[in-house]
Amino acid sequence: MPASGADALPAALAALPAAPLCVGYSGGLDSSALLHALAASPQARARGLRAWHVHHGLHPQADAWAAHCADVCAGYGLELTVSRVSVARDGGDGPEAAARAARHAAFAAGLGAGEVLALAHHRDDQAETVLLRLLRGSGPDGLAAMREWRECGRGRLWRPLLALSRAQLEAYAQHHGLRWIDDPSNAEDRYDRNFLRQRVLPLLRERWPQAPAALAQSARLQEDAAGLLEEGDALALAQARSLDPHALSRSALRALAPARRARVLRRWIAALGLPPLPAQGVARIDTELLSARADADAEFAWNGARVRAWRDLLHAAPQRPPLPPDWRADWDGAAPLALPGGGRWHLHGTDRFDAVLRAHPRAGGERIALPGRDHRHSLKHALQALGVPPWERERLPLLSAADGELLAAGDLLYSARLQAWLRERAARLEWEP
């Protein structure tokens, strides 16, 4: 075997990260070559090298594949973690995407703090990914395809073989007499990636032998371009932020160019950990929320999340129902009060209230005697004066005395009576929404 084939994989692993190492090990050719090369490295073993097999349960031989991986790892003297995952077979994105999502969810949940998970994706995989993204109409972020490094849970994913071809990995595996699994589903061209691998890329190579390398090079250039765009996105997002990370200034967003605004909105949603905006999401926000009246309660909801417009703010958060209208709870302050749908109320600085108080939701028409005022004020107007947006008012718990006097709205407003009581004891209320 040519020296370049024998040496290519170890050379790609010469600079190991200074972190605990794990290998994503399916038992197939690519991951078998990567695992063998790392198992042969004293430096990798010194970093606590282990292997990780994800059992998708999609093939009748899945148990036998897991047993094969266990046998190989035992021969190397390496620990093997097997994660069984449930793959949604009826998802709209198809079985390939569902299996990948389940696998990466397992990785994100199971990686140790600072641990690096090495994956065996290579140049041909990258070329297929670029083609798939092109056919989906992706921009620079998508066409950057698979990055060498990315965050994952408490650790990071590392793809050290993106510059190598599958032929180089196969040559390495044959040179070392490795055993690997051939998944028969890889021969089914009804799957998009298999169709590209078996029918499209061979045709491209006939005319352009360098096609996979050129596509991978395009991915690297797109990654550079995406990095430059991200710098501008971060600056624009910082300028649009309010004190609340869930809220952006609508006027600042309107001042951005449409293409930049779309990127900023998607970056903001991702930073909040919300589901990605759907294809029409940015257009809906542009047309229905950014230009809505200041007093309108305009919103766009998707996949359990919601963006709402109010005054100059655009607010994004998971969808949460308002407090149930019939909810009531007696509270003496001795222990935190759990609120329906999540959240708590705490009394700090004193043991308990002098009497049992009643917690309840807003019903409308409430009035409160604020400190320093000689008459009661509308709670609605008082909250509006504080700039409390509608989505917070919906889940704002109220606290009343036995005689019905309104004493508190969350920890945002206190009545004169309650504020005097709290000051005497250097106490305070805390509302965790």
Query: In which residue are the tokens 């709402």 written?
Result: 308
Residues 6+ apart with CB under 8 A from 308: 289, 297, 298, 299, 314, 315, 316, 389, 390, 391
Task: Output DSSP code: residue 241.
Answer: B
> Would you say 27 is a known binding-site residue?
yes
Element (H, E) at 22: strand 21-24
If 0-12 CB within 10 Å is exposed, 13-18 middle and 19+ buried, where does residue 301 land?
exposed
Instruction: Work out whether strand 21-24 and strand 116-118 pair parallel, antiparallel, or are unpaired.
Output: parallel
Q: Which residues pair with 301 in a beta bridge?
A: 306
Using only the alpha carbons of the chain, give its radius of gyration: 29
> Where on the phi/psi map is residue 114: left (φ > 0), alpha (ψ -120 to 50), or beta?
left
Residues 6+ apart with CB under 8 A from 329: 337, 358, 359, 360
Query: Tokens standing for 61?
Result: 């031989």
Around Cβ 402, how many Cβ atoms within 10 Å?
A: 10
> Would you say 295 is a known binding-site residue?
no
> Would you say 291 is a known binding-site residue?
no
Q: Which residues pair with 82 in a beta bridge?
A: 53
> Would you say 26 is a known binding-site residue?
yes
If 0-12 CB within 10 Å is exposed, 13-18 middle and 19+ buried, where does residue 191 land?
middle
Element (H, E) at 21: strand 21-24
**Residue 56 to residue 355: CA distance in whole angstroms:** 57
Q: 387 and 398 in contact (C-beta within 8 Å)? A: no
Query: In which residue are the tokens 């779309």 written?
Result: 262
Query: In which residue are the tokens 């250097």 written?
Result: 426
Q: At residue 350, what are phi and psi to the nearest 5 degrees?
A: -155, 160
Residue ranges of alpha helices (H) inside 77-191 are: 94-110, 123-135, 140-143, 166-175
Write the CA distances from 405 to 117, 131, 335, integer angstroms: 59, 66, 22
Write the DSSP string, 125-157.
Answer: HHHHHHHHHHHTT--HHHHT-S-SEEEETTEEE
Output the known binding site: 26-31
Annotated binding site for ATP, which residues? 26-31
